[in-house]
Amino acid sequence: MTQSISHVIGRVMLSCAVVAWVAVVATHPALVAQQRPVPATGAVMPQYDADRNLKLPADYRQWILVGSSLGLSYSEGGAGHQMFNTTLMEPTAYRHFVETGQFREGTMLALILQGIGTNALPARQGQFATDVHMIEMAVKDSGRVPEGWAYYGFGGPMMGGYRTAAAPQAKASCYDCHVKHAARDNVFTQFYGLLNEAAPRAK
C-alpha cells in the first residue's frame, strides 16, 4: 500500500517534471528556432553610403540565377565586343516576384558580364564564360530616383577594379532603353526563361 502510494506520487512527480521540462524546452528561444520551419526572412533592401551612392552588396554572387545570354547586342549594327551576360536577383525580392509577379520596392538585379572562351581542352567545340569583365546593377527604389528604377556600373577586373559604391547612371544611358524595350516593369524578362518558369503569376 505504502509502496504503491509512493509509486503513484513518484509517477505524478515524474510527469510534472516531464511537463516542466517540455515547457522549458518548448519556450527556450534557441530550441524554438530549431523546431519551427525557417521563417520568411525580412526583405533585403539596397544600402547607400553618405553620398547616397549604392553600395555593391557583398553577397551578390550568391543571388539567384534568373537568366543568361550570349552576345546580346544593345546597339544597332554593333558587332562589338561580345560577352556572356548572367543576370542574378536578390533572393528575398526573387521570392516576392515568384509569389506575386511583382518587382517590389527594393528589388535588386545584378548583371555580370564575362568574356568568351573557346578551344580549351578537352572541349573541341563550344564557348564558355571566362573572366568577369564588369558588374552592373538595376535597383527599384523610388525613394532614390523619381522614375523608380536606377542603374549602376561597378566596374570590374577589366576596368581597373570594382567600385564599392556607385552613383545612378544618367537616364539616357540606361533607363531609357530599359523602360522602352524591357517586357516587364523595366526588367528584360523576355530573356529570362528560368524566371518566367518559376513565376507563373507574372504572366
* Residues with Cβ within 8 Å of residue 108, at least 6 apart in sequence: 44, 46, 57, 60, 63, 89, 90, 93, 137, 138, 139, 140
Asked if residues 67 and 89 have their Cβ atoms less than 8 Å apart, the reply is no
Q: Are 134 and 113 in contact (CB under 8 A)?
A: yes
- Nearer residue to ligand HEC within complex by CB, 43 or 182: 182
What is the CA angle 61-63-69, rounded to 5? Answer: 80
C-beta closer to ligand HEC: residue 40 or 183: 183
C-beta closer to ligand HEC: residue 9 or 140: 140
**What's the rounded Cα separation, in Å, for the pair 188 and 172?**
17
State the DSSP string of 113-153: EEEEE---TT--S--EEEEEEEEEEEEE-TTT-TTSEEEEE
C-beta closer to ligand HEC: residue 120 or 167 = 167
Tell me the three cell numbers of residue 53: 551612392
Closest distance to ligand HEC from the beta carbon of 44 (Å): 16
Residue 154 CB, nearest approach to ligand HEC (Å): 9
Nearer to ligand HEC, 56 or 174 (CB): 174
What is the smallest separation between the CB atom of 68 and ligand HEC, expressed in angstroms?
Answer: 7
Q: Which residues bind ligand HEC (CB under 6 A)?
A: 69, 72, 74, 85, 87, 109, 111, 136-138, 151-153, 169, 173-174, 177-178, 182, 186-188, 191
Q: Least distance (Å) from ligand HEC to the CB of residue 41? A: 22
Closest distance of CB 142 from ligand HEC, Å = 16
189 alpha carbon, distance to own chain's centre = 15
